[in-house]
Chain A
Amino acid sequence: MDFFLELFVNGLLTGVLYALIALGLVLIYKASSVLNLAVGEMALLASFVVALAANFGAPSWLAILAGVVVMVAFGYFVERLAFRPLIGQPVISLIMATVGIALFLRGIYFILSNKWPVYLVDLGLPVDSLNLGPVSLLSSSVVGGLVALLLFGLVGYIYARTRTGLALRAVSDNQTVALSLGISIDHLWAVVWIGAGLVALVSGIVWGQRIGVQFGIAILGLKGLPVVFLGGLDSMVGALLAGIFIGVAENVVAGYLDPLIGGGTKEFLPFFIMLIALWVRPYGFFGREIIERV
């Protein structure tokens, strides 16, 4: 039972981080109906920048600030250079643009990391273990999970309560109508790309601390896909719940199954769940209802 509890709670913490990756997908999807296939690479870029700055001797706050500056600039330029010129083009062109961005970021990462190898995001967070009854957790994981939850709350608040959030919901509902009301799609796209950049920054820092700054962070972006297909591409609540579900499921199942099959459960289980989700509910469990009047 203790073993199960430990697997469960650790899965929970990982799941919140998967949810965060999915949040980066959902933000872009809601504003543009585009699947952002560069989420993982964005987190990789962010973790590299922060680690590099810290490596050069920047204090933690400055390293994070460097990450903020780079990700904001990144979001701004993606909208300006890749998205805006494609307004009115089919969605598939925009999705391919995100693939281009992903490959571009990979290239940049390999070039820069050859020049300045960095291994870990180290912001001096406590590395000790927290003992909660029978469960022991890395306190950095706990902090990461809490920050992720906070970010969800913040983004949710912006969508529900602010003027920009209302405009974002309008664009997500019907882009043509939103445009006719004088909403600037360019502006909102910049907002969501910058937002996704900052979300990737948090992901990048947390994972960079957890597994180190390495190409594996880009691969983690793939874990966002089962989460959004399970939760619904346009649902933040869906992303959070599905992220947690997948995190817990893979950790618990892996805990019991890996010793028997020699590992690899976490690599296939989320995608297996994704296939089933697509089969049972193509729009996810929390995707927007389709309104049909009678």
Chain B
Amino acid sequence: MTNANGQEPLLQVNNIEVIYDKVVLVLKGVSLHVPAGGIVTLLGANGAGKTTTLKAISGLLRPERGEVTRGSIYFQGRRIDHEEPPEIVRMGIVQVLEGRGVLEHLTVEENLLVGAHTRPRGDNLQDDIEMIYHYFPSLAERRRIKAGYLSGGEQQMLAIGRALMAHPKVLLLDEPSLGLAPLLVQEIFRIVRRLNEEQGVSVLLVEQNASIALEIADYGYVMENGRIVLDGDAETLKNNEDIKEFYLGLSAVGQRKSYREVKHYRRRKRWLS
């Protein structure tokens, strides 16, 4: 499949189905593309299947007894849905887990070093570490501190910085805004944008916070109940009435409605017409 520029997308997920524990069907045919150099966001409410989608890509489903049972995932033209996580990281896909997941008992710098685990021995990591500190200056001051003692925002920065140590071509970010104050979220998203522009790393950003995600993304998908229900350019999505009402909290009466309330008439209208 090709995108508008006639190029093969960096990452393509084709109609995948994911089953947990051999019986629980969670993804029911999900397709999405991440172009090289792009920022794509995957939006959806809790339980929609966003994390499952990311784990299907990064190979992290297996330890949770999940399995891609249908469809395929390609990265740079190579099929990866049966690869193990170490190989997937080596190819250039790194997932930053939901809830940050720093290694609490390791120092900030050790966290960064272990992020380079898949790189060849003898690579010069010091320059990379300095680069991370350049983007996240507050980590530099705390390099000898155990990561468990960092603030929530710093932990998120560390998790992103650590992922960069593997020299990824695409970063999978799972709800980086979770539990952080709005100003901090903005700062982190600004840095993600800069990393994308200056380092050329592509991003697949999972978020519930649609307004801020659509601020930095080029393209977005909306997921519900294991399916993609909507996709489009970030600009288009920002102006979409469903998104406005549900995610941006801008319903006509000025109160936040549940998507369930609005989706029936609207989505029916959209998809059936």
Contacts and interface: CB of A to CB of B under 8 A. Distances in A.
Give the interface size class of chain A: 20 to 34
A288 B63 contact: no
B166 A181 contact: yes
Interface of B: 58, 60, 62-65, 84-86, 88-90, 94-97, 101-106, 110, 113-115, 117-118, 121, 146, 148-149, 151, 162-163, 166
B149 A181 contact: no
Interface stretch (A36-44, A142-150, A169-177): A169-177
A221 to B, nearest CB: 28
B88 to A, nearest CB: 7
Given A166-B113, A174-B101, A176-B63, A184 B106 contact: no
A166 B113 CA distance: 8
A218 interface: no
Contact of B114 (A88, A166, A175, A293): A166
A167 B117 contact: yes
A88 B65 contact: yes
A169 B64 contact: no
A183 B85 CA distance: 8
A180 B84 CA distance: 11
A182 interface: yes
Residue among B101, B105, B115, B118 facing the most chain A CB atoms (10 A cut-off): B105
Contact of A182 (B90, B104, B146, B151): B90
A291 interface: yes
A173 B104 CA distance: 7
Contacts of A174: 101, 103-104
Interface string A155-176: 0000000010011011011111
Nearest to A182: B89
A112 interface: no
A96 interface: no
A293 B148 contact: yes
21 contacts: A88-B63, A163-B117, A163-B121, A166-B106, A166-B113, A166-B117, A167-B117, A170-B117, A173-B106, A176-B60, A180-B96, A180-B101, A181-B94, A181-B115, A181-B162, A182-B86, A182-B90, A182-B94, A291-B146, A291-B148, A293-B149
A181 B114 contact: yes
Main SS at interface, chain A? helix
Nearest to B121: A163
Contact of A291 (B94, B115, B121, B149): B149
A173 B105 CA distance: 7
B89 A170 contact: no
Contacts of A182: 85-86, 88-90, 94, 117-118, 166
A178 B110 CA distance: 13
Contacts of A62: none
Given A169-B103, A176-B60, A178-B103, 12 more contacts: A87-B62, A87-B63, A88-B64, A163-B117, A169-B106, A175-B63, A176-B101, A177-B103, A180-B94, A181-B89, A181-B114, A182-B88
A179 interface: yes
